[in-house]
């Protein structure tokens, strides 16, 4: 029997390269619909027991949109607030009070990754459960991995850890398997791992990816599931990337 599922959606970012400080990045529209709308639809489609958008920059517009667009699902939706953007790890820390008594798995999605499909996500959840992994992530093989965190595997081709692009060595930068930023793990173990995360990195932020160091250190089984359609895990950081996804969506 599957465990209960809470879905956290990272949606607090400013999106500096979107060139509109008056707008939350996740509120930029893809085919006439804010990106966050696609991600909440996805979370509800996989029967999440709880959906937690983490809001921050221009958060009231995001809250208003969600409340207006999902009136029948507000019993499942609870907002967490990240008023200082101190990294993805810090963002997830803001959900601790909401999930304090939650016994189940936590799925972490990004509010600026709008084309992930239900089929791919369900396959990922099945991969995690059937493989008896304690933590899992979706990865992808890219011809041009610059800017993405790299998935490091050991001599047995098993997952070892993730290194962020700005912290990677020249050898690690040549790896083309990247981290999509989509994760699944037990709620209680996730918060235990987050207590070990610090800001000793090139960005001076709390990296969510550092939780995998905790799991590895305890010899917990970690899975990395490569996705076939790369556009599904593509995040939007610029208007140009948004336009590219518009074209892809039209062809689907």
Domain residues of the chain, as ranges?
A: 4-251
Annotation says 17 is catalytic: yes
pLDDT at residue 6, as a whole number: 98
Phi, psi of 245 (to 5 degrees): -70, -30
Q: What is the pLDDT of residues 75-133, one digit of tens each?
A: 999 999 999 989 999 999 999 999 999 999 999 999 999 999 999 999 999 999 999 99
pLDDT at residue 54, as a whole number: 98
Q: What is the pLDDT of residues 3-37, one digit of tens each?
A: 899 999 999 988 788 888 889 999 999 999 999 99
**Section 55-81 average pLDDT:** 97
pLDDT at residue 14, as a whole number: 84
pLDDT at residue 21, as a whole number: 83
pLDDT at 185 over 60: yes
pLDDT at residue 22, as a whole number: 87
Going by pLDDT thresholds of 50, 70 and 90, the confidence category of residue 194 is very high
Start-end of H helices in the chain = 35-45, 59-69, 88-93, 118-130, 170-173, 187-194, 211-217, 239-251
Q: Write the Ramachandran bin of 211: left for phi over 0, alpha for psi from -120 to 50, otherwise beta.
A: alpha
Q: Determine the Cα–Cα distance for residues 134 and 161; give it in Å rounded to an integer.
A: 14
- The one catalytic residue in 17, 150, 153, 174 is 17
CATH class of the domain at 4-251: alpha beta
Distance of CA 135 to the CA centre of its chain: 13
**Average pLDDT across the chain, whole number:** 94
Q: Determine the Cα–Cα distance for residues 240 and 246; give it in Å rounded to an integer.
A: 10
- β-pairing verdict for 50-55 and 4-11: parallel
pLDDT at residue 80, as a whole number: 98
pLDDT at residue 160, as a whole number: 87
Alpha-carbon dihedral 243, 176, 170, 151, rounded to 10 degrees = 100
Residue for token pair 């509800």? 44
Alpha-carbon dihedral 164, 169, 175, 179, rounded to 10 degrees = -10
Q: Determine the Cα–Cα distance for residues 178 and 68; give it in Å rounded to an integer.
A: 36
Q: What is the pLDDT of residues 141-154, one digit of tens each?
A: 998 899 899 999 98
Going by pLDDT thresholds of 50, 70 and 90, the confidence category of residue 63 is very high
User: Using an 8 Å Cβ cutoff, are 185 and 175 in contact?
Assistant: no
pLDDT at residue 106, as a whole number: 98
């Amino acid at each position: 029997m599957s465990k209960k599922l809470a879905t956290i959606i990272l949606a607090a970012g400013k999106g500096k390269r979107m060139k509109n400080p008056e707008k939350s990045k996740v509120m930029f529209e893809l085919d006439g619909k804010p990106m966050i709308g696609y991600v909440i639809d996805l979370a509800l489609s996989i029967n999440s027991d709880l959906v937690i958008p983490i809001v921050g920059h221009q958060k009231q517009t995001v809250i208003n949109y969600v409340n207006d667009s999902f009136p029948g699902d507000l019993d499942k939706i609870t907002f967490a607030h990240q008023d200082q953007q101190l990294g993805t790890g810090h963002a997830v820390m803001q959900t601790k009070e909401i999930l304090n008594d939650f016994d189940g798995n936590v799925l972490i999605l990004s509010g600026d990754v709008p084309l992930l499909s239900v089929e791919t996500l369900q396959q990922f959840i099945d991969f995690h459960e059937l493989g008896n992994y304690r933590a899992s992530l979706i990865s992808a093989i890219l011809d041009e991995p610059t800017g993405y965190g790299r998935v490091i595997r050991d001599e047995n081709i098993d997952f070892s850890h993730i290194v962020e692009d700005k912290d990677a060595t020249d050898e690690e930068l040549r790896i083309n398997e990247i981290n999509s930023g989509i994760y699944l793990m037990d709620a209680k173990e996730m918060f235990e791992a987050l207590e070990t995360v610090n800001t000793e990195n090139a960005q001076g932020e709390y990296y969510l990816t550092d939780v995998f160091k905790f799991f590895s250190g305890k010899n917990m089984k970690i899975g990395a599931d490569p996705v076939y359609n790369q556009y599904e895990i593509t995040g939007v950081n610029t208007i140009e990337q948004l336009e590219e996804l518009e074209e892809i969506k039209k062809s689907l």
